[in-house]
Amino acid sequence: MPAPKKNARHEPIRRCVACRRAAPKHTLLRFARDPHTRQVQFDPAQRLPGRGAYLCPNPDCFHIARKRKSLARVLKTPVDEAILDAAEAWMRSMQ
């Protein structure tokens, strides 16, 4: 097995809560649960504190997450549909 490059940067890998596909963190959309208020927010900058959950920027993953309530299960708190709508609108505007 070849030795890893010394200059290679570590890239965090996260898993989509809907399709369960592992991908580099920067390619996924993050949702964060505030540690004090337990409110869920869409976190496009991926900087908010608290527990995070990730979704692929794919309409099918949004559909699956809504149907299975994947974000609510992973974040252990209810997730308002408006948050998913806002994230989906942001995703479409970035394409």
The answer to whether the predicted template modeling score (pTM) of the entire model surpasses 0.85 is yes
| pLDDT (tens digit per residue) in 13-40 | 999 999 999 999 999 999 999 999 999 9
| Alpha-carbon span 86 to 61, nearest angstrom | 15
Q: 2: pLDDT confidence band, cut at 50, 70 and 90?
A: low
pLDDT in tens, 41-91: 999 999 999 999 999 999 999 999 999 999 999 999 999 999 999 999 999
CATH code of domain 13-94: 3.30.1230.10
Tokens of 3: 């030795």
Q: Give the pLDDT of residue 1.
A: 59
